[in-house]
Amino acid sequence: MSVRTIGVVMNGVTGRMGYRQHLVRSVLAINEQGGVTLSDGDRVKLRPVLVGRSAGKLADIAARHAIPDFTTDLDAALADDDNLIYFDAQVTSARVKAVLKAIEAGKHIYAEKPTAESAQEALALAEAATAKGVKNGVVQDKLFLPGLLKLKRLIDGGFFGRILSVRGEFGYWVFEGDWQEAQRPSWNYRGEDGGGIVLDMFPHWHYVLENLFGRVESVYARAVTHIPSRVDEQGVTYQATADDAAYGVFELEGGVIAQINSSWTVRVNRDELVEFQVDGTHGSAVAGLRNCRVQHRSATPKPVWNPDLPVTARFRDDWQEVPDNMEFDNGFKIQWEAFVRHVLEDAPFPNDFASGARGVQLAELGLRSSAEGRRIEVPQL
Ligand SMILES: NC(=O)C1=CN([C@@H]2O[C@H](COP(=O)(O)OP(=O)(O)OC[C@H]3O[C@@H](n4cnc5c(N)ncnc54)[C@H](OP(=O)(O)O)[C@@H]3O)[C@@H](O)[C@H]2O)C=CC1
Ligand SMILES: O=C1CO[C@H](CO)[C@@H](O)[C@@H]1O
């Protein structure tokens, strides 16, 4: 068994996702476990090369984790042939330019979602990567959440019979920033800076729906800005020009109807920050980030509507927890390992830029649907 090291240029590590999930919980965690194991038993460690626009912030992170390589010069990092992979977790609006540069430099590309702000640009990235012959992948972390893995297990095991509908509820209250600090970066609430819940969350819903239930054939959405002004990181009031809630209906192949609410203006009255209820002819399930509960047709109670009487049935007690049956690793790390194997030994990696572009397309069509007040067919890309 041999161990080798490859360089990974990581742009955006001073941000929330780039630092926590990608650098600490994925790349450094992979090295701590001894690297990515390839099919022949060899191991590959990752040498992060931190890139960003603030030398001070990069130096802090590098010192904290004893990382020798960091720079504000993306071109220099891309010019180094030992750096095989370029990873991007910058703000969405900065993604396309940097990724195109990295493709041009012949790097294999892994990027956060959404890959671009428009479907045209997202497609252009996919085409540029294909033309250059570089591997490409987009983060689709929700597929690896324990709750969704359990849901997939139920689907694969035929638990539902014919699936009829999916109801998704995502969101929580994001503070306005005046009397309590906002817990998400302010650019998310400015359209001109690449913000908006549709662009943020519809790419997630797209790959979840496509992978678990089938192709998304149409969308109807209403996107709104419920809170028109917020206060940013500097304490300055700004106009919230991006949508902070979206109410969407998606029709899937085979007639499944999915209805997903996404909101940063909702107070949580559910067990998890995202939950999907799936109803089928033979059974139903409610899956969250970690847990999944089911009710089989044979154990379905028969409620009778009678508002004259107090409710005595405890409907939630009639559901059964799906067991873990396995250890669940961090989903971002699992995807990093898969991408490294894809680059080095051509292992399958379905979450490519083409699938990323389909997600951006759904966001774009969702926004168009909202603006025009109509249901829109989703053309196959
Ligand atoms: N898969 C998932 O679950 C999630 C994915 N995301 C995606 O990750 C990306 C980053 O989001 P998040 O980490 O929340 O954002 P942050 O605001 O926390 O981080 C943004 C990063 O981009 C850099 N940056 C900011 N402005 C610019 C600019 N104008 N030009 C170049 N770089 C810039 C920042 O550098 P600096 O520190 O110097 O400002 C920082 O490194 C987004 O595309 C978002 O959609 C976000 C949340 C969850
Ligand atoms: O992917 C995501 C999951 O949820 C987060 C919380 O609002 C979002 O920031 C995000 O982009």
Query: Are residues 77 and 134 located together in one domain of the fold?
Result: yes
CATH (domain of 307): 3.30.360.10
> What backbone phi and psi angles, to 5 degrees, belong to 235?
85, 15
Pairing of strands 292-296, 283-287: antiparallel
Instruction: Say if residue 254's pLDDT is above 90.
Output: yes
Query: Mean pLDDT over residues 83-107, rounded?
Result: 98
In-domain check, residue 356: no
111 and 163, same domain (yes or no): no
Q: Say what the pTM is.
A: 0.97
Average pLDDT score over residue span 116-140: 98
Tell me if 355 is assigned to some domain: no
Nearest-CA neighbor of 276 among 165, 128, 133?
Answer: 165
CA distance linking residue 210 with residue 223, whole number of Å: 22
- HEC string of the chain equals CCEEEEEEEEECCCCHHHHHHHHHHHHHHHHHCCCEECCCCCEEEEEEEEECCCHHHHHHHHHHCCCCCEECCHHHHHHCCCEEEEEECCCHHHHHHHHHHHHHCCCEEEECCCCCCCHHHHHHHHHHHHHHCCCEEECCHHHHCHHHHHHHHHHHCCCCCCEEEEEEEEECECCCCCCCCCCCCHHHHCHHHCCCHHHHHHHHHHHHHHHHCCCEEEEEEEEECCCCEEECCCCCEEECCCCCEEEEEEEEHHHCEEEEEEECECCCCCCCCEEEEEEECCEEEEECCCCEEEEEHHHCCCCCCCCCCCCCCCHHHHCEECCCCCCCCCHHHHHHHHHHHHHHHCCCCCCCHHHHHHHHHHHHHHHHHHHHCCCEECCCC
Q: Which ligand is nearest to the CA of 16?
A: 1
Are 66 and 106 in the same domain? yes
On whether residue 227 sits in a domain, the answer given is: yes
244 ligand 2 Cβ < 6 A: no
pLDDT on residue 262: 98
Instruction: Write the pLDDT tens digit of every residue in 2-31.
Output: 999 999 999 999 999 999 999 999 999 999
CATH number at residue 86: 3.40.50.720
Taking the CA of 193 as reference, the closest ligand is 1
Mean local confidence (pLDDT), 121-140? 98
Asked if residue 117 has its Cβ within 6 Å of ligand 2, the reply is no
Together in a domain, 129 and 147: no
**Cβ atoms 346, 104 nearer than 8 A:** no
CA distance 140 to 203: 9
Distance 17 CA to ligand 1 centre (A): 7
Does ligand 1 lie within 6 Å of residue 200's CB atom?
A: yes
* Nearest Cα residue to atom 7 of ligand 2: 171
Q: Are residues 227 and 83 in the same domain?
A: no
Number of domains composing the chain: 2
Residue 381 domain-assigned (yes or no): no
Position 245 confidence tier, pLDDT thresholds 50, 70, 90: very high
Considering the domain architecture, whether residues 18 and 134 belong to the same structural domain is answered as yes
In the predicted model, what is the mean pLDDT of residues 158-187?
98
Whether the pLDDT of residue 124 is over 90: the answer is yes
Q: What is the ipTM of this complex?
A: 0.96
204 Cβ inside 6 Å of ligand 2 = yes
Ligand 1 site, residue 25, Cβ cutoff 6 A: no
Task: Identify the CA nearest to 92 among candidates 201, 167, 8.
Answer: 201
pLDDT of residue 93: 96
| Residue 1's pLDDT band (cuts 50, 70, 90) | confident
CA-based Rg of the chain, rounded to a whole angstrom? 22
d(CA 359, CA 103): 21
72 and 150 share one domain: no
Mean pLDDT taken over the chain: 97
The answer, yes or no, to whether any atom of ligand 2 lies below 6 A from the CB of 135, is no
Q: Out of 122-131, 145-154, 309-318, 349-358, pick the least confident.
A: 309-318
Are 134 and 18 in a shared domain? Answer: yes
Q: What is the pLDDT of residue 181?
A: 97
Q: Annotate 108-135 with b (16+ C-beta within 10 A) or e (fewer).
A: bbbbbbbbbbbbebbbbbbebbeebebb
Task: Give the rounded percent of residues in the chain with a pLDDT score beyond 90.
Answer: 99
Averaged over 136-153, what is the pLDDT? 98
pLDDT at 273 over 90: yes
Burial zone of 81 (CB within 10 Å; 0-12 exposed, 13-18 middle, 19+ buried) = exposed
Summarised one tens digit per residue, pLDDT across range 308-318 is 999 888 999 99
Q: Token digits for 211?
A: 């992978």
Pocket flag, ligand 2, residue 200 (CB < 6 Å): yes
pLDDT tens sequence across 206-220: 999 999 999 999 999
343, 365: one domain: no
Domain assignment present for residue 132? The answer is yes
Query: Please, what's the b/e burial string for 286-316 (b: 16 or more CB within 10 A of its CB; e: otherwise)?
Result: bbbeebbbbbeeeeeeeeeeeeeeeeeeeee
Candidates 344, 352, 325, 331; CA nearest to 29 is 331
**In the predicted structure, residue 187 carries a pLDDT above the cut 90:** yes
Give the number of other Cβ atoms within 10 Å of residue 34's Cβ. 12
Of 90, 175, 200, which is best to mutate to test ligand 2, by the most ligand atoms within 8 angstroms of its C-beta? Answer: 200
Asked if residue 294 and residue 226 are part of one domain, the reply reads yes
Amino acid in the structure at residue 121 = E
Range of the domain at 30: 3-141+331-350
Same domain, 159 and 255: yes
Could you check whether the bond before residue 114 is cis, i.e. omega within 30 degrees of 0?
yes
Do 126 and 158 fall into the same domain?
no
